[in-house]
Chains A and B, each alone.
Chain A
């Protein structure tokens, strides 16, 4: 039902069931907020979005209050502005005075609001009991002093990721975001996905920086720094620096990275092809023996952690194939650079990932009998952007640098890893070929595409039909796991990505990823698949070379030693 209401003395049409904020958004009136999140039910905790409504004594939060016929609303009256300003002043009373040194300087929503509301002095002074920065987690750092208790992180962690690793503890002005027994974030439940960082309005949540270590490695004599980047990185970089998202972005990025001092630059996608080859073989073996089905993909470290820590019963069903980042690291150290005469311990592999959990993953695998990791440092897309800025790289003045390594050929199947459902699509193409001897036709599996958190389809492999499901947003996997545990469901492969819609929306991507930017990043990836000649992993010529020179046949014992890993259940205090 539609009716007219009055907003700032103008008549506006509103629908029953809409919140005041819905109407304001539609007609282009912006009200500030610190706690509201699109797609979540409002909590009304920050009170920044309050408006004045005739006939209601107090001010009304527009995010949660529904419109009614009789309403006359003032969104920016002096009373409202005074209230908003006072709220910010109250928050600032105990907020650290260190904007200049803050990780979020320039991107902080609190800072923006303080500036918009003309806060020009620290009106209220308060000493807050000093709280230590929580640095215990390998991926995420928390500075509770900067927290405004908007609870966005808590809601994301609970509702999207479904692990509830953090929640409010304490009461009143002693309220804090805390973990189990307030022991720091290295708790079992935290899957390190970094979605909390994405929604944090202030500098309270940031990734654990590897920036400095990488900068040092770049300048250390005798060290051979190389870099690999995930397929989702170029699109995000293009977005950030306003570059056209075409093929040149990759070459421009390569040029930029080389300028920064990386001796060689690899596309992790090549390792993703190898991951497909191994995982396809693994699946076919399991299908034949009808053991440990459904096969769960294991390229998402947050998902792997979830199984290890919270649902260890599913460990045998997890694919043992190493994730692309780790495969790439191993290949670089043990094969590619060593063929060029570098010692593995002198090679410094940096990977750029859209992900914070990859920082944790990199610390898990070591070369046999040594302290050398496959990947030495992981930086997020955000950190790379900062690094590019620090190094004064101007993309407009760069000459695109073509591929110089023979290890950069990758199929477009591997590129699809960046969007939820894409890994599955690439995997099925190879499984189909390996099982039937024919290419899947058509190669494009539309059921597994698009911005959805659950996608499924049924594939005919010769005589057999297999069911595959792609799930993103870790909370959505729980019901499926429960069904499998109860013996229900006839699914053969399940791809799980912790972040909703996959790595394009990863916890390490630039902040403020809205639907538009996600669609843009997705399109870049799908476009590659349209244009690429090699669309399947098994046609990648590098694979042939690798399997001839370095590896045995897929999923063989030798390959198991090199490219597979058995994950164990973990206990964290």
Chain B
């Protein structure tokens, strides 16, 4: 597209779409809009999911293969890089839209499959193994025998508001966003509403922060708006650092302009003219896309001086963090942004009163901000009608672990966790049994299968001790060791603790050491040590309480959640580790006891040679034995036996 065409399209979109919030278009506009939105295409369009998840699964190679295929076959087609649709376990995902036909989606479209897939499509047939579904559109001809995307169980219960465009539009094109009504809310806001009114609308929508605390967003803004200062700041918190959570990344990579528009409205509402996006430097793809999007938004006049002639100015800057977990906490984030160590500070004063460089500062999470444009577009009552009382709207959740499908979903608040596990994620992989669902990141809780009826929502989750904000949901099958899982999270937290306050710095380390004691087997063990381990568990509970009571920030206050919840629901597993020195799941290596099946052992001697502890005896060509007292459970013999003669309990 030439520069002048781009400019013309921009002008057209600004004048006819952005500035037209009636939603009704004349025929010519509708026609052109359909073209921009690729509802009407004259040549084939190939969409490739190029989010981080797609890239990791090989989308880059897929794209190369597509380009090669088009060149070899002298085909003219447009290739669009899109973000992630959410079904990360099916990546790389490639969509093809032939003129007049429905857009069709292929899963696992790896480079070697590209040729066959495209051959089939261009000959109007399908490879059903890879076909995921098709997009429903009235004027498009459907592909026979293929479900609509929104009918797939993974998508059926979703309500996509903030993720509406993710994976569908090109994150590199502001036109794609504008053509779908993007920046219209900003236009409407800065020209029609006072900042007070914006805060009021958001307050009426009952939107609550999506990052953990769940504080009502409108109320928070109002504090900053009413705090007198010549300088105020807005910060978009994209420092997503829980293992297994990538909602923000998906949003930023799929629909960056939505977040920028949300930021612009928020900045207007609180009276800020400078805004920062703080994200971890490892989010390379997000950073590139954001930089591009900011440039586009500035070029279009949506950022910068005198936005839409309203007199409102806003500069947005990207700031990269080093990826410390604690920098997701707002006061630590502000410290880091100021160039200091990322350590949290005592609240009050809250950042809304005294934040960045001592000025009123609002820190909002990516997802919270992405909810702002649709609320202003559709009104607070529309938003309030979604979800449930006290928890309005939707929540983006990352499903990881042992589910059949994993990825990012957006569900209306109030949905049951069991629905997420069994309908959306499609149950447990490999027909295993569900052991627990871990919710809320490293400081979250483990929920046993019998309690999965709990609904997603601030109050309902708080009741069971979890927080909605941290949107990681890990499905754990029967092969999971709960003690080991607690140890994993505790290890993460004690490494990520900033080290400022004693309970978090020392307490998490002590708790980790106690858990390590439970999962480790010393060479020679006396009954005294069993008692010590038992004391350890008693201490765990005591420590957990004090750490929760006295820690400075949320990291420490919630650090004991994984241990407390697993102790509550899976106490017998702890006891088994302590007294029987057994790990049912076979995860805790130190506690495994190995045996040799005399029927299967042919005396090849390999295990005996490899055993580092000389714990295996036996003559050549005779069955061998393991001396239990010498065995440390390292598993080298198990791995080296070619006859599967070694097993463990």
Residues of A within 8 A of B (CB): 42-48, 50, 58-59, 61, 64-66, 79, 82-83, 86-87, 90-91, 93-94, 123-124, 126, 148-149, 151, 167-168, 170-175
| A residues in contact with B552, CB < 8 Å | 44-45, 47, 61
* Residue of A64, A65, A151, A171 touching B497 (CB-CB under 8 A): A171
The answer to whether A45 touches B501, judged by C-beta atoms less than 8 angstroms apart, is: yes
The answer to whether A47 touches B503, judged by C-beta atoms less than 8 angstroms apart, is: yes
Q: Which B residues from 524 to 555 make CB contacts under 8 A with A?
A: 539, 542-543, 546, 548-552
| B residues in contact with A50, CB < 8 Å | 549-550
| A residues in contact with B324, CB < 8 Å | 171
Q: Is B508 an interface residue (CB 8 A)?
A: yes
Q: Assuming A50-B549, A58-B549, A90-B507, is B539 touching A123 (CB within 8 A)?
A: yes
The answer to whether B496 touches A64, judged by C-beta atoms less than 8 angstroms apart, is: no
Size category of the binding interface on chain B: 20 to 34
The distance from the CB of B286 to the nearest CB of chain A, in whole angstroms, is: 24
Q: Assuming A172-B494, A173-B499, A174-B499, is B549 touching A93 (CB within 8 A)?
A: no
| A residues in contact with B551, CB < 8 Å | 47, 58
Q: Assuming A44-B346, A47-B550, is B499 touching A175 (CB within 8 A)?
A: yes
With both beta carbons as reference points, the residue of chain A lying nearest to B542 in the complex is identified as A86
A64, A79, A167 pick with most chain B CB within 10 angstroms: A64
Q: Is B506 an interface residue (CB 8 A)?
A: yes
Please report the C-alpha to C-alpha distance between residue A154 and residue B204 in the assembled complex, in whole angstroms: 46
Q: Assuming A64-B346, A86-B543, is B510 touching A93 (CB within 8 A)?
A: yes
With both beta carbons as reference points, the residue of chain B lying nearest to A68 in the complex is identified as B348
Q: Assuming A42-B346, A47-B502, A61-B346, is B508 touching A173 (CB within 8 A)?
A: yes
The answer to whether B546 touches A171, judged by C-beta atoms less than 8 angstroms apart, is: no
Q: Is B557 an interface residue (CB 8 A)?
A: yes
Q: Assuming A47-B551, A58-B557, A124-B539, is B499 touching A170 (CB within 8 A)?
A: yes
The answer to whether A90 touches B499, judged by C-beta atoms less than 8 angstroms apart, is: no
Please name 5 pairs of A and B residues whose Cβ atoms are closer than 8 Å in the assembled complex, sorted by A. A45-B500, A86-B503, A172-B496, A173-B505, A173-B506
Q: Which B residues from 338 to 363 make CB contacts under 8 A with A?
A: 341, 345-346, 348
The answer to whether B496 touches A171, judged by C-beta atoms less than 8 angstroms apart, is: yes
Please report the C-alpha to C-alpha distance between residue A149 and residue B505 in the assembled complex, in whole angstroms: 10
The answer to whether A87 touches B499, judged by C-beta atoms less than 8 angstroms apart, is: no
The answer to whether A87 touches B546, judged by C-beta atoms less than 8 angstroms apart, is: yes
* Residue of B348, B497, B501 touching A46 (CB-CB under 8 A): B501
Please report the C-alpha to C-alpha distance between residue A537 and residue B551 in the assembled complex, in whole angstroms: 58
Q: Is B305 an interface residue (CB 8 A)?
A: no
Q: Is B495 an interface residue (CB 8 A)?
A: yes
Main secondary structure of the interface of A (DSSP, over half): loop
Main secondary structure of the interface of B (DSSP, over half): helix
The answer to whether B502 touches A45, judged by C-beta atoms less than 8 angstroms apart, is: yes
The distance from the CB of A88 to the nearest CB of chain B, in whole angstroms, is: 9
With both beta carbons as reference points, the residue of chain A lying nearest to B550 in the complex is identified as A47
The answer to whether B549 touches A90, judged by C-beta atoms less than 8 angstroms apart, is: no
The distance from the CB of A495 to the nearest CB of chain B, in whole angstroms, is: 33
| A residues in contact with B539, CB < 8 Å | 123-124
The answer to whether A79 touches B499, judged by C-beta atoms less than 8 angstroms apart, is: no
The distance from the CB of B579 to the nearest CB of chain A, in whole angstroms, is: 21
The answer to whether A59 touches B549, judged by C-beta atoms less than 8 angstroms apart, is: yes
Please report the C-alpha to C-alpha distance between residue A79 and residue B549 in the assembled complex, in whole angstroms: 9
The answer to whether A172 touches B509, judged by C-beta atoms less than 8 angstroms apart, is: yes
Q: Which B residues from 358 to 409 make CB contacts under 8 A with A?
A: none
The answer to whether B498 touches A171, judged by C-beta atoms less than 8 angstroms apart, is: yes
Q: Which B residues from 450 to 494 make CB contacts under 8 A with A?
A: 494
Please report the C-alpha to C-alpha distance between residue A175 and residue B506 in the assembled complex, in whole angstroms: 10
* Residue of A44, A82, A91, A172 touching B508 (CB-CB under 8 A): A172
| B residues in contact with A45, CB < 8 Å | 500-502, 552
Q: Is B513 an interface residue (CB 8 A)?
A: yes
The answer to whether B503 touches A90, judged by C-beta atoms less than 8 angstroms apart, is: yes
Please report the C-alpha to C-alpha distance between residue A66 and residue B354 in the assembled complex, in whole angstroms: 15
The 10 closest A-B pairs by CB, nearest first: A175-B499, A90-B506, A172-B497, A173-B509, A44-B346, A86-B546, A64-B346, A47-B550, A59-B549, A45-B500
| A residues in contact with B548, CB < 8 Å | 58
Residues of B within 8 A of A (CB): 324, 341, 345-346, 348, 494-503, 505-510, 513, 539, 542-543, 546, 548-552, 557
Please report the C-alpha to C-alpha distance between residue A500 and residue B346 in the assembled complex, in whole angstroms: 28
The distance from the CB of A25 to the nearest CB of chain B, in whole angstroms, is: 18
The distance from the CB of A69 to the nearest CB of chain B, in whole angstroms, is: 15
| B residues in contact with A149, CB < 8 Å | 499-500, 502, 505
The answer to whether A87 touches B550, judged by C-beta atoms less than 8 angstroms apart, is: yes
The answer to whether A93 touches B506, judged by C-beta atoms less than 8 angstroms apart, is: yes
| B residues in contact with A172, CB < 8 Å | 494-499, 505, 508-509
Please report the C-alpha to C-alpha distance between residue A173 and residue B509 in the assembled complex, in whole angstroms: 7
Given contacts A43-B500, A47-B551, A175-B500, 18 further A-B contacts (CB under 8 A): A44-B346, A45-B502, A45-B552, A47-B501, A47-B502, A47-B503, A48-B502, A87-B502, A87-B550, A90-B506, A126-B513, A149-B500, A171-B497, A172-B496, A172-B497, A172-B509, A174-B499, A175-B505
The answer to whether A171 touches B495, judged by C-beta atoms less than 8 angstroms apart, is: yes
Please report the C-alpha to C-alpha distance between residue A79 and residue B505 in the assembled complex, in whole angstroms: 20
Please report the C-alpha to C-alpha distance between residue A211 and residue B385 in the assembled complex, in whole angstroms: 78
| A residues in contact with B346, CB < 8 Å | 42-44, 61, 64-65
Please report the C-alpha to C-alpha distance between residue A87 and residue B273 in the assembled complex, in whole angstroms: 44
Please report the C-alpha to C-alpha distance between residue A343 and residue B114 in the assembled complex, in whole angstroms: 96
Please report the C-alpha to C-alpha distance between residue A87 and residue B550 in the assembled complex, in whole angstroms: 9
The answer to whether B499 touches A148, judged by C-beta atoms less than 8 angstroms apart, is: no
The distance from the CB of A90 to the nearest CB of chain B, in whole angstroms, is: 4
| A residues in contact with B496, CB < 8 Å | 171-172
| B residues in contact with A79, CB < 8 Å | 549
B510, B513, B548 pick with most chain A CB within 10 angstroms: B510
The distance from the CB of B307 to the nearest CB of chain A, in whole angstroms, is: 38
The answer to whether B510 touches A124, judged by C-beta atoms less than 8 angstroms apart, is: yes
Please report the C-alpha to C-alpha distance between residue A531 and residue B178 in the assembled complex, in whole angstroms: 87
With both beta carbons as reference points, the residue of chain B lying nearest to A169 in the complex is identified as B341
| A residues in contact with B549, CB < 8 Å | 50, 58-59, 79, 83
Please report the C-alpha to C-alpha distance between residue A99 and residue B451 in the assembled complex, in whole angstroms: 51
The answer to whether B546 touches A83, judged by C-beta atoms less than 8 angstroms apart, is: yes
Please report the C-alpha to C-alpha distance between residue A86 and residue B557 in the assembled complex, in whole angstroms: 15
| B residues in contact with A94, CB < 8 Å | 506
With both beta carbons as reference points, the residue of chain A lying nearest to B511 in the complex is identified as A124
| A residues in contact with B498, CB < 8 Å | 171-172, 175
Please report the C-alpha to C-alpha distance between residue A90 and residue B495 in the assembled complex, in whole angstroms: 17
The answer to whether B495 touches A83, judged by C-beta atoms less than 8 angstroms apart, is: no
Please report the C-alpha to C-alpha distance between residue A410 and residue B495 in the assembled complex, in whole angstroms: 60
Please report the C-alpha to C-alpha distance between residue A42 and residue B349 in the assembled complex, in whole angstroms: 12
The answer to whether A91 touches B341, judged by C-beta atoms less than 8 angstroms apart, is: no
The distance from the CB of B533 to the nearest CB of chain A, in whole angstroms, is: 12
Please report the C-alpha to C-alpha distance between residue A65 and residue B495 in the assembled complex, in whole angstroms: 28
| B residues in contact with A46, CB < 8 Å | 501-502
With both beta carbons as reference points, the residue of chain A lying nearest to B509 in the complex is identified as A173
| B residues in contact with A58, CB < 8 Å | 548-551, 557
The distance from the CB of B466 to the nearest CB of chain A, in whole angstroms, is: 15
| A residues in contact with B497, CB < 8 Å | 171-173
Q: Assuming A58-B549, A86-B546, is B494 touching A173 (CB within 8 A)?
A: yes
| A residues in contact with B494, CB < 8 Å | 172-173
Q: Assuming A64-B346, A171-B497, A172-B496, is B550 touching A83 (CB within 8 A)?
A: yes
Please report the C-alpha to C-alpha distance between residue A93 and residue B506 in the assembled complex, in whole angstroms: 9
| B residues in contact with A42, CB < 8 Å | 346
Please report the C-alpha to C-alpha distance between residue A258 and residue B546 in the assembled complex, in whole angstroms: 55
Please report the C-alpha to C-alpha distance between residue A453 and residue B2 in the assembled complex, in whole angstroms: 68
With both beta carbons as reference points, the residue of chain A lying nearest to B548 in the complex is identified as A58
Please report the C-alpha to C-alpha distance between residue A171 and residue B324 in the assembled complex, in whole angstroms: 10
The answer to whether A44 touches B501, judged by C-beta atoms less than 8 angstroms apart, is: yes
With both beta carbons as reference points, the residue of chain A lying nearest to B506 in the complex is identified as A90
B324, B346, B507, B543 pick with most chain A CB within 10 angstroms: B346
Please report the C-alpha to C-alpha distance between residue A167 and residue B550 in the assembled complex, in whole angstroms: 24
Please report the C-alpha to C-alpha distance between residue A168 and residue B507 in the assembled complex, in whole angstroms: 19
| B residues in contact with A175, CB < 8 Å | 498-500, 505
Please report the C-alpha to C-alpha distance between residue A94 and residue B499 in the assembled complex, in whole angstroms: 14
With both beta carbons as reference points, the residue of chain B lying nearest to A151 in the complex is identified as B500
